[in-house]
Amino acid sequence: MKAFIFDLDGVIVGTDEYHYLAWKQVASEENIYFDKKINDRLRGVSRMESLDIVLERADREYTPEEKQILAEKKNDIYKILLANLTPGDRFEGVTETLEEIRKKGYKIAIGSSSKNTPFILERLGYRNYFDAVSDGNNIKHSKPDPEVFLKAAEMLQLDPSDCYVVEDAESGIDAAKAGKFTAIGIGPAAGYVKTDIPISHFSDLLKLI
């Protein structure tokens, strides 16, 4: 293996609560029921697909134009919350583990469906830190489509079979497997049946190098 491709949210940093609060505000303003169980279904899913899930409990149909307005409103709220991120919000052991992976000669990349990836990386002090960043700004299909990971491998000039993908969401594991990557599952994805290598802590990756 020659590289590790990491999902961002839930692997490098946790912004689930920010997503939840932003969607909760949008749903409340539309008088739509929304809770953390529904929010869990949005993990690893694109913004517009997430909105469709949120709107499942709406008592009316929304036009494409209305949906776009709601999606933009959610993202505006989310970005305001993201401004609170600092390097101290990186998950425990992430930076130290990434440094060891680099020292062993592996390339590292981000593969995230989020269009806010550049902003999040900058807030975390990781701007220009990774060898490649593939995100929602350069893909047409979100996970479980493998496009985001395939583009990351392409940027690294590597074959998928040479890359690990580290994911916390089942949709991300599905995407990794669809792209012929070796899928490492952390958090909720560690117990997923399609996960190739389950890990409990980010630092467990050091056992693979």
User: Catalytic residue positions?
Assistant: 7, 9
DSSP the chain: --EEEE-SBTTTB--HHHHHHHHHHHHHHTT----HHHHHTTTT--HHHHHHHHGGG-SS---HHHHHHHHHHHHHHHHHHHTT--GGGBPTTHHHHHHHHHHTT-EEEEE-S-TTHHHHHHHTT-TTTSSEEE-TTS-SS-TTSTHHHHHHHHHHT--GGGEEEEESSHHHHHHHHHTTPEEEE-GGGGG-TT-SEE-SSGGGGGGG-
